[in-house]
Structure 1
Amino acid sequence: MPERRRGAALEKALLDAAWEELAANGYARFTMDAVVQRAGTSPPVLYRRWSDRDELVRATIARSLEENRLDVPDTGTLREDVLTLMREINATRVQFITVMSVHLAGYYQETGTSPRDLLATGRENSVDVLFDRAVDRGEIKAELLTERIKSLPFDLLRHEVLTTFAPVSDDVLEEIVDTVFLPLVR
């Protein structure tokens, strides 16, 4: 007989099951019952924590975003910082990007949110550090940094991933940074 899970271990198992269900079947077919079955628990256990599917999806997304946050590189140049971060995303986050964008499309429609809204949460404490350092080093002009421009290289990476559902070549990453992004901030 399996050991009874409690507290943080139980919550982790439930949220892991919810993420697996979203990844496997998408939001449209996401049900509390499917999560219960996948987690090997009972409905009351799940409903004590989250009263409905949207609440569970929000908790699942929040936890997944927190778990998938990457360390911000500090290579000494903006070009290498952005490329290093993009390479890490490209190497480790293709499935995450796909689930967040494609499998949760119905959720975004129902709630009026977007992947950009969710991904921007807490971004000020991470990617913005990269740009602040580049401004301090005199590499770029702060007045040229709009939110759209700061997100541009990562938006283009996400576009490439969602076009192919696979990691993109390093040549494409360098083209995004050198040809599209850097000329906008210098």
Structure 2
Amino acid sequence: MAGPPRRRGAELEQAILHAVIDELTEAGYAGLTMDRVAARAGTNKNAIYRRWPNRAALALAAYRELIGADREPPDTGTLRGDVMELLRGANGHLSTPIIGRTVRALLGAAADDPDLMAQLRDSVIDAGSGLWLTVLGRAVARGEVPPEAIHPRVATVAIALLRNEYVTRGTTSVPDDVLVEIVDEVYLPLLRGRHATVVD
């Protein structure tokens, strides 16, 4: 009797990533192994290693799959509305057990692993900066903030402060009043206070 058809390409990658998500849910990042992922996905380790060189890269790929890295930026018509929507969406993702636990574990492991930190910076820490820059570009066009507000490091201050709540405070969910404080007391004043630097 013939076995199931062999999966290839995107179909196999999706099966592997879903297996990683299931493994992270059950065992966390510390318990993630290539052997267990391969067994759950119904494939072999070589198929995984051809796509992802190590378990950190594999976990990061699964994380991006979970959060939907290609999502569209909000467009509420106001900067504050867009920023609150982005921040609340990120908080919703980070407060789910699997995503929050995975991010905290990866950030903890990265302290002693420069290669992992570099991957994290690309896939988690700086991920989504394009969304924030798009939102800021619309705000500049509406005259809500000066053009100098459009800077990658400035754009992601709000999400960095949110992530800090999870990493340093060990919280499992950030209250909405804290999100409002981040936006109204830190982020919007920072953006509105930006101005061109004059060099003599």
Q: Fold conserved (TM > 0.5)?
A: yes
Which residue number in structure 1 is paired with residue 91 of structure 2?
90
Give the aligned residue type for 1:147.
Answer: P
Residue by residue over 1:29-85, the C-alpha shift from the partner in whole angstroms, topping out at 9 and shown as x without a partner, is 43211212333x253xx3134249734542452353155134311111111100011
Aligned partner of residue 140 in structure 1, secondary structure? coil
How does 1:87-166 map onto structure 2 within 5 Å? 87-95=88-96, 96-103=99-106, 105-106=108-109, 109-110=112-113, 111=115, 112-113=117-118, 115-119=120-124, 120-121=126-127, 123-124=129-130, 126-162=131-167, 163-166=169-172
User: Does the CA contact (< 8 Å) of 1:27 and 1:106 recur in 2?
Assistant: no
Which residue number in structure 2 is paired with residue 80 of structure 1?
81
User: Does the CA contact (< 8 Å) of 1:28 and 1:106 recur in 2?
Assistant: no
Residue by residue over 1:116-139, the C-alpha shift from the partner in whole angstroms, topping out at 9 and shown as x without a partner, is 332324632x22110100111111
Which residue number in structure 1 is paired with residue 198 of structure 2?
none
If the length of structure 2 is used for normalisation, what is the TM-score?
0.74
User: Does the CA contact (< 8 Å) of 2:28 and 2:101 recur in 1?
Assistant: no
User: Does the CA contact (< 8 Å) of 2:75 and 2:135 recur in 1?
Assistant: yes
Matches of 2:88 and 2:27 in 1, distance apart?
A: 28
Unaligned runs of 5+ residues in structure 1 are none
Unaligned runs of 5+ residues in structure 2 are 193-200
Which residue number in structure 1 is paired with residue 57 of structure 2?
58
Percent identity, aligned pairs only? 35
Matches of 1:117 and 1:79 in 2, distance apart?
A: 26
Aligned partner of residue 105 in structure 2, secondary structure? helix
The answer to which structure, 1 or 2, has the higher relative contact order (CA under 8 A, 6+ apart) is 1
The 3 A distance-change label for structure 1 pair 170 and 92 is same
RMSD: 3.0
Give the aligned residue type for 1:30.
Answer: L
User: Does the CA contact (< 8 Å) of 1:72 and 1:130 recur in 2?
Assistant: yes
Matches of 1:52 and 1:108 in 2, distance apart?
A: 25
Matches of 1:54 and 1:14 in 2, distance apart?
A: 14
Q: Are 2:189 and 1:183 equivalent residues in the alignment?
A: yes
Which residue number in structure 1 is paired with residue 195 of structure 2?
none
Residue by residue over 1:11-36, the C-alpha shift from the partner in whole angstroms, topping out at 9 and shown as x without a partner, is 21212112333454444443211212
More displaced 10-residue stretch of structure 1: 129-138 or 60-69: 60-69
User: Does the CA contact (< 8 Å) of 1:86 and 1:173 recur in 2?
Assistant: yes
If the length of structure 1 is used for normalisation, what is the TM-score?
0.79
Matches of 1:14 and 1:114 in 2, distance apart?
A: 19
